[in-house]
Structure 1
Amino acid sequence: MPEQARKRARTSALVFAVRRRDVQLVGPAAPTPRDTKRLSDIDDQDVLRMDVSLAFFYRGREDSVAPGDPAGVIRRALGEALVPYTRWPGG
């Protein structure tokens, strides 16, 4: 690949619009367990208590349920991920 094409590929950015909306509470997608989850020995290590800021980006699938609603996909996935780990009032 010529040098100019490599530079252009490196500097070309994905451009998209973002609209800020009101905060939405996302609860578990199904009833949650009523048992207590104990922390592991790793969770007791002060050295491992730190914040790490990461953002992962994935390509959408062609068969996506809501191709025009990425926030809805994230809400639904978060709700499903919360099921095994949270105790939700009424859940």
Structure 2
Amino acid sequence: MEFRIDEVKRQVILVQGAPRNSEITLNELDVLNRKFLEGTQDKYECELVLQDVEVTDETGEKTGVTELKAFARRKGAENWLMEFIPEEYIW
């Protein structure tokens, strides 16, 4: 599943391909329903956050350019971020 970010509206638009060919719109701070392996004891809620991130080149050097990226943030742990990967959530 692919997604695009609407910077102005602070939204992520999930694009589902064939056979459904549909879109799902998520607003910043919407709750994400994370998939957990059976038996997982540390279950938690996440929310969608958008943050500007410095872009680096192939050598890891900062380019001075920023890019808006989507992350999942664990609720109650403001410093806990992970890259937003749509396949890791239930839609």
TM-score, normalization by structure 2: 0.26
Larger Rg: 1
TM-score, normalization by structure 1: 0.26
Greater RCO structure (CA 8 Å; 6+ sep): 1
Flag the structure with higher helix content. Answer: 1
